[in-house]
Amino acid sequence: SSPVAIVITSEADTWDIDASCLGCGQFVDWDRMPDLEQQAHISRDILSKPSKELKKLAREGYWAGSRALRAQVYHQLIQQVTCRLVTPDALVYKDVASRLFGKLSVSSHPLPEFLEGCSMPTYCLNLEGVTALKKVLICIGSLFPDITYSPILPSLVALLLHYSEDEAQCFENISRLIASNAPHTSYIDQSFLAYQASCMTFGDLANKHCPAAHKLIASTSENVFEVYSEWLSWLFHHLPFNYAIRVFDVYLLEGQKVLYRIALALLKQYRLSVASSELEGTDIKANLQAFVQNIAEHVSVEKLLERAFGIRLFSRKEIWLLQMANRKALMERGITMVQSRQSFHLAVDMQNFSSSIVTAQEMRIVWSWIPERFSLFSPLLLFSTSEDGYSLQRFYTCCEGYEPTVLLIKTTEGEVCGAFLSSDWSERKESGGTSGFFGTGECFVFTVRPETERYEWVFIKKPELAKAVPRSRQRSPSPSPTSLLSSSPDSRGSSSNHLTVPAPQRKGRLSPFLAIRHFLLPSKTASMFMSGSREGIIIGGGGGQALSLDANLLWGHTEHCETFDNPPLCQENFKVQLLEVWGFQNT
478-493 residue pLDDT tens:
334 444 444 333 433 3
What is the distance between the alpha carbons of residues 446 and 546, in angstroms, rounded to a whole number?
Answer: 10
Q: Assess if residue 557 is contained within a domain.
A: yes
**Who has greater pLDDT, 329 or 94?**
94
What integer pLDDT is reported at residue 50 of this predicted model?
Answer: 80
What is the distance between the alpha carbons of residues 73 and 77, in angstroms, rounded to a whole number?
Answer: 6
Query: Within this chain, do residues 302 and 264 fall inside the same structural domain, yes or no?
Result: yes
* Res 387 pLDDT > 70: yes
Query: Within this chain, do residues 209 and 174 fall inside the same structural domain, yes or no?
Result: no
- pLDDT-based confidence at residue 329 (cuts at 50, 70, 90): confident
Residue 323 burial (10 A CB sphere; 0-12, 13-18, 19+): buried
Q: Assess if residue 207 is contained within a domain.
A: yes
Distances, alpha carbon 318 to alpha carbons 210, 325, 478, 513, in Å: 18, 11, 25, 6
What is the distance between the alpha carbons of residues 67 and 245, in angstroms, rounded to a whole number?
Answer: 11
- pLDDT-based confidence at residue 224 (cuts at 50, 70, 90): confident
Structural domain total, the chain? 3
What integer pLDDT is reported at residue 440 of this predicted model?
Answer: 86
Contact yes or no for 25/13 (Cβ under 8 A): no
Query: Within this chain, do residues 218 and 152 fall inside the same structural domain, yes or no?
Result: no
Query: Within this chain, do residues 46 and 154 fall inside the same structural domain, yes or no?
Result: yes
Q: pLDDT digits over 333-370, tens only?
A: 776 665 544 433 445 566 678 899 998 888 888 888 88
Q: Assess if residue 349 is contained within a domain.
A: no
Query: Within this chain, do residues 386 and 456 fall inside the same structural domain, yes or no?
Result: yes
Query: Within this chain, do residues 434 and 568 fall inside the same structural domain, yes or no?
Result: yes
Q: CA torsion sign, 80 to 81 to 87 to 88? A: negative
Query: Within this chain, do residues 393 and 261 fall inside the same structural domain, yes or no?
Result: no
Query: Within this chain, do residues 214 and 165 fall inside the same structural domain, yes or no?
Result: no
b or e along 142-153 (b: 16 or more beta carbons within 10 Å of the residue's beta carbon)?
Answer: ebbeebbbbbbb
What integer pLDDT is reported at residue 270 of this predicted model?
Answer: 93
* Res 316 pLDDT > 60: yes
**Residue 169 domain boundaries:** 30-179
What integer pLDDT is reported at residue 64 of this predicted model?
Answer: 82
Long-range contacts of 33-42 (CB under 8 A, 24+ apart): 33/124, 33/241, 34/240, 34/241, 34/242, 36/67, 37/64, 37/65, 38/65, 39/15, 39/65, 39/66, 40/65, 40/66, 42/16, 42/66, 42/69
- pLDDT-based confidence at residue 35 (cuts at 50, 70, 90): low
Query: Within this chain, do residues 80 and 145 fall inside the same structural domain, yes or no?
Result: yes
- Check: pTM over 0.95? Answer yes or no: no
Query: Within this chain, do residues 130 and 171 fall inside the same structural domain, yes or no?
Result: yes
Query: Within this chain, do residues 317 and 221 fall inside the same structural domain, yes or no?
Result: yes
Q: Assess if residue 297 is contained within a domain.
A: yes
What is the distance between the alpha carbons of residues 239 and 233, in angstroms, rounded to a whole number?
Answer: 8
